[in-house]
C-alpha cells in the first residue's frame, strides 16, 4: 500500500514538473546551417530530452554491435571454464569411485579446457598412479614441483608412489623435502619421525618432538608421553655401556611421566648396580603403589644382589600386605614364597584368586604349590590343565606380539610406543632382544612374565 501511494505521488510530482516546464513563457532561437527555429521554451526542453534519449539509444546499439565479438569470446570462455570445472568434478568422482581410467580421461579433458590448471594435472597424476603407470605419474609430479602452489601436493604424490614401490629411502627423501617447504605438514612430520625412531636416532627424534606445537591439554599430554618414551628408549639403549647417561634419560622420562614403569625399572636397575639400593627401593615402592606392576615387585625383591630367597620374601612383605590387595600382588608374593619354600604363605597369597576365574599364572603357581608342599601329582596336573584353559595374564603386547619386556617400537609396524601392558589377544610370543648383561646385573632377575590382571595396573602404561 505504501509503495502504491509513493508511486502515485511521484507520478503526480513528475507530471506537475513537466506541465510547469511546458507552460514556461518565452522562446528559444536556434540557427543551424541557415535553418532558424524559435520553439517555446518548454517545447525546446522536451525536444532536448528526446534528442538525448535518441542519442543514448543509438550509442547503445552501436556499442553492442561493436562489442559483439568480444562478448561472444567471453561467453565461449565461460562455457569452456564451466565444462572444465565439470570435467574436474567428474575426474574426482571417477577416482573416488575406483575408475582411474575414466578419471585420467576427464583430467585430460579438464586440462584441455583449463590450461595451466594444477588440480587437473594432479588428478591425472593420481589416476596414473592408480593405474600403475609409474613413469607417467612420476613425470607429472616432477613437472608440478616447480610451482609453489602444487609443490607440496606433488611431493605427496611422489612419496605415495615411492611407498607403493617399497622404495623407503626415496620416500623419506620426499618427506624431508616436503617438511622443508611446509614444516607443519602432518604426514611428512610423521614419516620423518618414524624414520628417525626406526633407525634409533633418538636424539634427533626427541629434538623433533620438542619443536612440535601442542595447543590443547590433550596435545601436551601426548607430547610429554612421546618425549618420555623416547627418553626411555635412549636409557634402554645405553643402560649397559653408559649407565650414567642412561640414568639421566630414565629420570628425565620419569619427570615427564612419573609412573612410567619401563623408565622406573631401568633407573632402579642402575641404582642397584651402583650399590644405591635405598634409592632403587624408594623409587620402586612409589611405582608399585601407583601401578601394582609385577615387574616392579620382582625387582624390589631382588634389590639386594645375592640375597637369599627368605630375605627376598621378607623384603617383598614390606610392600605387600596380607591378604594381597590384587592378583598381581598375590602372584608376586606367592612366587617369592615358593622360592623360599614357605608353602602355607604361598597358598594363602593365591587363595583369593584361585577361584573359577583363576588365570594361567595363578594355575601354574598353584600347580607348583601342590607338587612342592604335598607332592600331590594329581592335583598339580589338575591345576596345569586348568591353566591351559584359563584366561591369560597381562603382558607386554604390541600388534599381536608378546614380549618378555617393554620395547620402544613394535617389531611388526615399527610404531613408537606400541607395547601395552594388557591381556594379549594373540598367541605370538617373542622374547625381547636384551643387551648383554653387565657383571653386576647377573644377579638381577629377568622381567617377570605376564601376570597382572589388575584394573589400575593394566592401563598404567
What are the DSSP calls for 449-461, one per residue? -S----HHHHT--
* pTM for this model (two decimals): 0.70
With CA atoms as reference, report the closest residue to 172 among 145, 192, 152, 202: 192
Q: Identify the pLDDT of residue 427.
A: 53
Q: Beta strands 428-430 and 420-422: pairing type?
A: unpaired
Query: Which triple of cell numbers denotes residue 256?
Result: 615427564
Q: Identify the pLDDT of residue 446.
A: 40
Q: Identify the pLDDT of residue 450.
A: 35
Q: Identify the pLDDT of residue 336.
A: 93
Q: How far apart are CA 110 and CA 89, in angstroms?
A: 9
Half-sphere exposure (CA, 13 Å, Cβ side) for 193? Answer: 22
Q: How far apart are CA 29 and CA 374, in angstroms?
A: 143
Q: How far apart are CA 413 and CA 395, in angstroms?
A: 19
The partner residues of 421 in beta bridges, in order of sequence, read: 396
The partner residues of 348 in beta bridges, in order of sequence, read: none
pLDDT one digit per residue (tens) for the chain, 461 residues: 788 888 888 888 877 877 776 676 767 676 766 677 767 767 777 777 788 889 999 888 888 888 888 888 888 888 888 888 888 888 888 888 888 888 888 888 887 887 777 788 888 888 887 787 878 877 877 778 777 788 888 888 888 888 888 888 888 988 988 888 888 888 888 899 999 999 999 999 999 898 888 888 998 999 999 999 999 999 999 999 999 999 999 999 999 999 999 999 999 999 999 999 999 999 999 999 999 999 999 999 999 988 999 999 999 999 998 888 999 999 999 999 999 999 999 999 999 999 888 999 999 999 999 999 888 899 999 999 999 999 999 999 998 899 999 999 999 988 999 999 999 875 555 554 444 444 444 344 443 333 333 333 333 44
Helices 168-181, 151-164: axis angle to 10 degrees equals: 160
Q: Identify the pLDDT of residue 440.
A: 41
Q: Identify the pLDDT of residue 24.
A: 66
State which H helix or E strand residue 11 sits in: helix 2-22
| Phi, psi dihedrals of residue 264, rounded to the nearest 5° | -65, -40
Tell me the CA distances in angstroms from 46 to 15, 23, 54, 60, 173, one per residue in order.
Answer: 13, 12, 12, 21, 81
Q: Identify the pLDDT of residue 118.
A: 78
CB 418 within 8 A of CB 409: yes
Amino acid at each position: 500500500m505504501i509503495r502504491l501511494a509513493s508511486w502515485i505521488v511521484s507520478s503526480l510530482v513528475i507530471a506537475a514538473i513537466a506541465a510547469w516546464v511546458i507552460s514556461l513563457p518565452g522562446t528559444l532561437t536556434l540557427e543551424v546551417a541557415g535553418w532558424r527555429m524559435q520553439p517555446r521554451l518548454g517545447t525546446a526542453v522536451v525536444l532536448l530530452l528526446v534528442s538525448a534519449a535518441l542519442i543514448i539509444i543509438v550509442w547503445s546499439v552501436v556499442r553492442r554491435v561493436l562489442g559483439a565479438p568480444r562478448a561472444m569470446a567471453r561467453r565461449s570462455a565461460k562455457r569452456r571454464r564451466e565444462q572444465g570445472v565439470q570435467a574436474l568434478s567428474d575426474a574426482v568422482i571417477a577416482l573416488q569411485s575406483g575408475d582411474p581410467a575414466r578419471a585420467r580421461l576427464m583430467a585430460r579433458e579438464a586440462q584441455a579446457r583449463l590450461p595451466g590448471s594444477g588440480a587437473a594435472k594432479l588428478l591425472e597424476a593420481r589416476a596414473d598412479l592408480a593405474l600403475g603407470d609409474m613413469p607417467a605419474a612420476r613425470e607429472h609430479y616432477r613437472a608440478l614441483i616447480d610451482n609453489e602452489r602444487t609443490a607440496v601436493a606433488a611431493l605427496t604424490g611422489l612419496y605415495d608412489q615411492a611407498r607403493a614401490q617399497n622404495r623407503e629411502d626415496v620416500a623419506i627423501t620426499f618427506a624431508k623435502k616436503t617438511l622443508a617447504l611446509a614444516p607443519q605438514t602432518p604426514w611428512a612430520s610423521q614419516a620423518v619421525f618414524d624414520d628417525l625412531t626406526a633407525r634409533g636416532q633418538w636424539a634427533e627424534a626427541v629434538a623433533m618432538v620438542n619443536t612440535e606445537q601442542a595447543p590443547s591439554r590433550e596435545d601436551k599430554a601426548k607430547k610429554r608421553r612421546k618425549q618420555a618414551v623416547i627418553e626411555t628408549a635412549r636409557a634402554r639403549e645405553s643402560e649397559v655401556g653408559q649407565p650414567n647417561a642412561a640414568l639421566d634419560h630414565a629420570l628425565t622420562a620419569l619427570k615427564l611421566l612419573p609412573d612410567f614403569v619401563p623408565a622406573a625399572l631401568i633407573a632402579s636397575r642402575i641404582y642397584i648396580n651402583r650399590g644405591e639400593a635405598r634409592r632403587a627401593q624408594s623409587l620402586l615402592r612409589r611405582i608399585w603403589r601407583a601401578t601394582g606392576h609385577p615387574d616392579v615387585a620382582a625387582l624390589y625383591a631382588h634389590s639386594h644382589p645375592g640375597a637369599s630367597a627368605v630375605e627376598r620374601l621378607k623384603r617383598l612383605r614390606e610392600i605387600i600386605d596380607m591378604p594381597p590387595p590384587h592378583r598381581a600382588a598375590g602372584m608376586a608374593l606367592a612366587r617369592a614364597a615358593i622360592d623360599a619354600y614357605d608353602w602355607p604363605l604361598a597358598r594363602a597369597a593365591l587363595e583369593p584368586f584361585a577361584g573359577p576365574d583363576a588365570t594361567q599364572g595363578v594355575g601354574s603357581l598353584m600347580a607348583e604349590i601342590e607338587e612342592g608342599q604335598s607332592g600331590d601329582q594329581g592335583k598339580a596336573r589338575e591345576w596345569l590343565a586348568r591353566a591351559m584353559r584359563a584366561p591369560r595374564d597381562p603382558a607386554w603386547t604390541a600388534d599381536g606380539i608378546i614380549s618378555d619386556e617393554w620395547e620402544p617400537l613394535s617389531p611388526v609396524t615399527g610404531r613408537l610406543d606400541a607395547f601395552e601392558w594388557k591381556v594379549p589377544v594373540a598367541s605370538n610370543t617373542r622374547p625381547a632382544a636384551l643387551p648383554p648383561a653387565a657383571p653386576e646385573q647377573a644377579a638381577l632377575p629377568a622381567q617377570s612374565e605376564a601376570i597382572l590382571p589388575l584394573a589400575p595396573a593394566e592401563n598404567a602404561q
